[in-house]
Amino acid sequence: MIMPSMTTARGTASTGGKIRVLIVDDSVVVRHLLREALQSDPSIEIVGAEANGVAALARIPIVKPDLVTLDIEMPQMDGIETLKHIRKDYPRLRTVMFSTLTTRGAAATLEALSLGADDYVAKAANGCKIDESLASLRSEMLPKIRQFFAMPRSSPPPQPVSPHLPAARRAMAAKPRVLAVGVSTGGPNALAELVPMLPRNFPIPVLIVQHMPATFTQLLAQRLDANSYLEVKEAADGMEVIPGRVILARGDHHLQIRSGGGRVTAVLDQGPHENSCRPAVDVLFRSVAKMYGAGVLSVVLTGMGSDGRRGTEAVKAARGYSIVQDEATSVVWGMPGAVATAGLADQILSLDGIGREILRLAE
């Protein structure tokens, strides 16, 4: 079963206020591309580039990186074995896996996440031009690295916006009819803890958006299904939304629902990205709010960015109920924090507390 990551708190950069990054990849070309892409950001310092896990482990105590980018397939010691050593010897060292979009790469990435990797980036497809590869790395890898670090500022920062804490636990306006969950960075581990908490007789359907490519969501659904009481399926167009079934949005497809012929079914589409995401949590939340109204129980878990905030506005406008994960148990408190600071959360709970509260509300 996937276990939670060992690192959750947002760190600060090391020497000189820069994020010290060690690149580990067996390809000379990839090492060069990563170095060029990452050093374009003035907040990042490349402290080394190694070709395999053995060399990387020897280098870590010397250069003292804040984060390691780790290829999965390497000679002598692959990324999975290297990650195991890193988690044992350097539990607070951030790791971002660098994997292919193949089924084999997706399976290895999920294994890495279960072992405590903080995030991953999928490699550009073979045949991409150099400038396309660089652009892809800058847009994908740089935000994944920056999300874990609070960078010092040259001028005083603006006053932080505190989350609007609910004065008291508010009762749901209606019995929940659907559970809608949005999650991103740290999601596979969070879902691996939350979904198995739901019993066989769980009385409402569950719809989940996890930001992941298509190959990854299929394997994630299979993993969750193997370790849960409920049936977990990757979404398919026309799939019936019923109690006892967990539907995970397919990568690169928005997930919505529709009613017809006495049934509620899933609808997949490849409409425009929202919040740079497809699937997007906002799309799902708007759809369930329109159909179930006050019967929506929405949950926003750990994740980078703000996807889910506008969708939660729709849930609240329909008198639905909103729970978000707290900062202490989130890998990144971006998505749940956006909902909380907007004053849209009815409850802010630990991951374990969310599971217990779902069961209480649905009983």
Is pLDDT above 60 for 331? yes
CATH 3.40.50.2300 segments of the chain:
11-150
Is pLDDT above 90 for 20? yes
Q: Which H helix or E strand runs over 254?
A: strand 254-260
pLDDT, residue 9, reads 44
- What are the pLDDT digits (tens) for 260-300? 999 999 999 999 999 999 999 999 999 999 999 999 999 99
Question: Which top CATH class is 178-362?
Answer: alpha beta
CA 343 to chain centre: 22
77 with 186: CB under 8 angstroms?
no
- The mean pLDDT of 185-193, rounded to a whole number, is 97
Give all strands of the β-sheet with 231-234 in edge-to-edge order.
231-234, 245-248, 206-210, 178-183, 296-300, 321-325, 347-349
CA 240 → CA 150, 166, 264, 311, distances in Å? 43, 35, 6, 22
User: How do beta strands 67-71 and 94-99 pair?
Assistant: parallel
Query: Reduced to 3 states, what is the DSSP secondary structure of residue 20?
Result: strand
Is pLDDT above 70 for 133? yes
Residues in the chain: 363
Least confident of 46-55, 116-125, 217-226: 116-125
CA 123 → CA 183, 255, 314, distances in Å? 22, 25, 35
- Crossing angle of helices 103-114 and 187-194, rounded to 10°: 70
Return the higher-pLDDT residue of 160 and 132.
132
Contacts 24+ apart (CB under 8 A), 74-82: 74/24, 74/25, 74/26, 75/26, 75/51, 76/52, 77/52, 77/53, 78/53, 79/24, 79/53, 79/108, 79/112, 80/108, 80/111, 80/112, 80/115, 81/53, 82/24, 82/53, 82/56, 82/57
With pLDDT > 90 as the criterion, what percentage of the chain qualifies?
Answer: 80
Confidence of residue 131 (pLDDT cuts 50, 70, 90): confident
pLDDT, residue 162, reads 63
Is pLDDT above 90 for 250? yes
- Which residues are CB-neighbours of 127 under 8 A, at least 6 positions away? none
Confidence of residue 127 (pLDDT cuts 50, 70, 90): low
- What are the pLDDT digits (tens) for 302-314? 999 999 999 999 9
Which residue carries 């990054």 as its tokens?
21
Confidence of residue 239 (pLDDT cuts 50, 70, 90): very high
End-to-end CA, the chain: 26
- What are the pLDDT digits (tens) for 22-41? 999 999 999 999 999 999 99
Confidence of residue 347 (pLDDT cuts 50, 70, 90): very high
- What are the pLDDT digits (tens) for 94-104? 999 998 878 88
pLDDT, residue 137, reads 85
- The mean pLDDT of 63-87, rounded to a whole number, is 96
pLDDT, residue 1, reads 44
pLDDT, residue 355, reads 98
Q: Within the chain, what is the greatest distance between any pair of CA atoms?
A: 66
Alpha helices in 165-244 (DSSP H): 187-194, 214-226
State the catalytic residues: 184, 211, 307
pLDDT, residue 10, reads 45
Query: Reduced to 3 states, what is the DSSP secondary structure of residue 354?
Result: helix
Is pLDDT above 90 for 123? no
184 with 307: CB under 8 angstroms?
yes
| pLDDT mean across residues, the chain | 90
Q: Nearest-5° angle of CA 120, CA 125, CA 126?
A: 130
Across the chain, how many H-helices and E-strands are there? 11, 16
207 with 234: CB under 8 angstroms?
no
CATH 3.40.50.180 segments of the chain:
178-362
Least confident of 84-93, 162-171, 321-330: 162-171
Rounded to 5 degrees, φ, ψ at 234 are -70, 140
CATH of region 11-150, choose from 2.170.190.11, 3.40.50.2300, 3.40.50.300, 3.30.420.40: 3.40.50.2300
